[in-house]
Amino acid sequence: MALASVTFFALALIAIASAVGVLIARSPIYSALSLVLNLLSVAGLYLTMNASFIGVIQILVYAGAIMVLVLFVIMLLNLDALPSPRSIGWGPILGFVLGIGLLAQLLYVMLTSFGISLEAAEPVTTAMAVENGSANTLGQILFTEYALHLQVAAILLLAATVGAVMLAQRRFA
Amino acid sequence: MEISLLSTSIFAFLVVNAMLLSASVLVYAERRVSGFMQNRPGPNRVGPLGILQPFADVLKFVMKEDIQPAASNTFIHALAPVLMVVIAMSVASLIPFAEGVVLLDIDVGVLMVLALTSVTVYGITLGGWSSNSKYSLLGGLRSAAQMISYELSMGLAVISVVIIAGTMSLPGIVEDQASGWAVLGWNAFRNPVGCIIFIVTAFAETNRAPFDLPEAEQELVGGYHTEYSGMKFGMFFLAEYVNWFVASFIIVTLFFGGYLIPFQPLLLAAIPALDGSLLLTLLQFGSLMLKVAFFAFLFIWVRWTFPRFKYNQLMDLGWKKMLPIALANTVVIAIGVAIFRSIF
């Protein structure tokens, strides 16, 4: 159990650090690579939470396909790194800290006044998590309960694909 | 699921070292077999029959100066070969070596293999881009385009296997092939089209001839690793050979019964005492290695049989031929399995 917590916190730390890296990296390549690291560490988090199917799909679709194309575009355009930012005054930093404080206060008030509990209604066991995260369960739900939603999403994606081909061919007449 | 950390670590250590050694065996095999196919002796000076040649090669890599282009990106230039090796090695953790002998048995094992191979493309593109050389960049671009194009057909071939097996775990897929007479339960016989598509796409994914456009010597010097030297080049080289070995393993696992011994049910019926014994495990491992050795040989064989594709032919084959066939095959297999299940 201790090992699971250690991996969880290590992955969570990497995920947060890389997410910050996406924002503050001055070079677009490093920014994109941080995003890849972020996607991979989030996939790792899914795996530690027994949602192996979603974790693997995350790597396959986002890290393996989409980010490769993003990286491609950045490399081909050969974007230069942004110039270093001007030094930030104390005003924005103070404002940021105060804003975070206000947000925390508001969230606390909301949680207590609406009686929202952060604990799950019933404790989640490992067996339940494995059951809910399996490809079998997901497939059953997707193709029965949410069949219409799936079809609509599929048509949307098809339209986007056809649109992309149309735009690439540039024959609008 | 209770995992003993120590035993897993020892097993992982063994697998990683076996993969490293296998690369040297493959280097030797490739150079020797290439020699025989071209009617020349091949390397035969270092050690008896040249067996120590790969070790001499590695020594040479280590001793060589590590040259880096002045205008390259230092961090990414060093990161790319490491990425390649790490990803190539991690796929090996999913392979079932014998009944119950597998490092990591997760319920989405096949997808994990696809996911890891799809990440391999980063090593090549980053290596190509960071070298700041036109040959490297072209090699990296070609490789990425090729891998993305062939990944779809590969995924569809894998899906057709998953439909038949009803599971995505690699040991599960191997066990599913145990049914049926002798070797007829193997997916190569139940799903021949998927098998051929998978083998062809495996060649493309590992950048082996006839799909070796990313490192076409005549056009691109060395392709994505033109600007690499010393052990960094050695790591690209190592990753290529490990990828090739792992691809043979995956082909055998998915389509040729994995660790199953041909006629295993008959063998067990004849000698019941063998069931569950250590000897059976060893026999299964031996059977797996023989099959893998054949496919490793097939990679060399094909290299000296087929000329390299032109780029447009490569894309034509991937998108206009392989993909429609793979799609049709998946539908046919799905309908076939549905009919089969409703009858029996």
Whole-number Å distance between alpha carbons of B21 and B15? 10
Looking at the complex, report in whole angstroms how far the Cα of residue A61 sits from the nearest Cα belonging to chain B: 8
Is residue A3 situated within a structural domain? yes
Whole-number Å distance between alpha carbons of A39 and B110? 20
Which residue in B has a C-alpha nearest to residue A47's C-alpha?
B106
Q: Given an 8 Å threshold on Cβ–Cβ distance, is B116 in contact with A29?
A: no
Q: Given an 8 Å threshold on Cβ–Cβ distance, is A53 in contact with B107?
A: yes
Looking at the complex, report in whole angstroms how far the Cα of residue B182 sits from the nearest Cα belonging to chain A: 30
Answer yes or no: are the C-beta atoms of B76 and B45 closer than 8 Å: no
Whole-number Å distance between alpha carbons of B288 and B280? 12
Residue from B47, B41, B23, B68 nearest B248 by CA:
B23
Looking at the complex, report in whole angstroms how far the Cα of residue A86 sits from the nearest Cα belonging to chain B: 25
Q: Given an 8 Å threshold on Cβ–Cβ distance, is B115 in contact with A134?
A: no
pLDDT in tens, A38-94: 998 998 888 888 778 888 888 888 888 788 888 878 877 776 767 776 777 788 889
**What's the number of domains chain A is made of?**
1
Q: Given an 8 Å threshold on Cβ–Cβ distance, is B129 in contact with A56?
A: no
Question: Any idea which residue has 């404002």 for tokens?
Answer: A95
pLDDT in tens, B120-168: 888 888 888 888 777 888 888 888 888 888 888 888 999 888 888 888 8
Looking at the complex, report in whole angstroms how far the Cα of residue B145 sits from the nearest Cα belonging to chain A: 9
CA atoms within 13 A on the CB side of B110: 27
Looking at the complex, report in whole angstroms how far the Cα of residue B199 sits from the nearest Cα belonging to chain A: 20
pLDDT value at position B1? 44
pLDDT value at position A116? 67
Q: Given an 8 Å threshold on Cβ–Cβ distance, is A65 in contact with B151?
A: yes
Which residue in B has a C-alpha nearest to residue A1's C-alpha?
B2
Is residue A37 situated within a structural domain? yes
Residue from B301, B120, B136 nearest B233 by CA:
B136
**Per-residue pLDDT for A152 more than 90?**
yes
DSSP state of B191: S
pLDDT (tens, 9 = 90+) of chain B, 344 residues, equals 455 778 888 888 888 888 888 888 888 888 888 888 888 887 888 878 878 888 888 888 888 887 777 777 778 888 888 888 888 888 888 888 877 777 777 778 888 888 888 888 888 888 888 887 778 888 888 888 888 888 888 889 998 888 888 888 888 888 888 776 666 778 878 888 888 999 999 888 888 778 777 777 777 777 777 778 778 888 888 888 888 888 898 998 888 887 877 777 677 777 777 676 778 788 888 888 888 889 888 888 888 888 888 888 888 888 888 899 999 999 998 898 888 888 87
pLDDT value at position A123? 62
pLDDT value at position B181? 65
Instruction: Give A40's contacts in chain B (Cβ within 8 Å).
Output: 119
pLDDT value at position A13? 93
**Per-residue pLDDT for A2 more than 60?**
yes
CB contacts < 8 A, A to B, total 62
pLDDT value at position A120? 60
Q: Give the tokens for residue A28.
A: 């677009």
Task: Give φ, ψ of A94 to 5 degrees.
Answer: -60, -40
Q: Given an 8 Å threshold on Cβ–Cβ distance, is A59 in contact with B119?
A: yes
Residue from B201, B202, B206, B197 nearest B330 by CA:
B197
**Per-residue pLDDT for A134 more than 80?**
no
| Structural domain of A55 | 1-79
Q: Give the tokens for residue B30.
A: 């490739």
**Which amino acid is residue A56, in one-letter code?**
V
Instruction: Give B140's contacts in chain A (Cβ within 8 Å).
Output: 75
Q: Given an 8 Å threshold on Cβ–Cβ distance, is B107 in contact with A135?
A: yes
User: Once rounded to an integer, what is the mean pLDDT over residues A157-172?
Assistant: 84
Helix (H), strand (E) at residue A2: helix A2-24
The CATH number of whichever domain residue A36 belongs to comes to 1.20.120.1200
Is residue A42 situated within a structural domain? yes
Answer yes or no: are the C-beta atoms of B225 and B207 closer than 8 Å: no
Q: Given an 8 Å threshold on Cβ–Cβ distance, is A59 in contact with B137?
A: no
Is residue A8 situated within a structural domain? yes
Task: Give φ, ψ of B68 to 5 degrees.
Answer: -130, 130
Is residue A84 situated within a structural domain? no
Q: How many residues does chain A have?
A: 173
Q: What ranges do the domains of chain B cover?
A: 72-343
pLDDT value at position A129? 65
Note the ipTM here.
Answer: 0.78
Which residue in A has a C-alpha nearest to residue B80's C-alpha?
A33
CA atoms within 13 A on the CB side of B218: 6
Q: Given an 8 Å threshold on Cβ–Cβ distance, is A53 in contact with B111?
A: yes
Is A70 near chain B, with CB under 8 Å? Answer: no
B132: left (phi over 0), alpha (psi -120 to 50) or beta: left
Is A3 near chain B, with CB under 8 Å? Answer: yes
b/e sequence A127-159, b meaning 16+ C-beta within 10 Å? eeeeeebbbeeeeeeeeeeeeeeeeeeeeeeee
User: SS3 of B101, please?
Assistant: strand
Question: Any idea which residue has 């924002």 for tokens?
Answer: A23
Q: Given an 8 Å threshold on Cβ–Cβ distance, is B73 in contact with A65?
A: no
Q: Given an 8 Å threshold on Cβ–Cβ distance, is A64 in contact with B168?
A: no
pLDDT in tens, A13-54: 999 999 988 888 888 888 888 998 999 899 888 888 877 888
Whole-number Å distance between alpha carbons of A36 and A28? 12
Looking at the complex, report in whole angstroms how far the Cα of residue A118 sits from the nearest Cα belonging to chain B: 27
b/e sequence B231-246, b meaning 16+ C-beta within 10 Å? bbbbbbbbbbbbbbbb
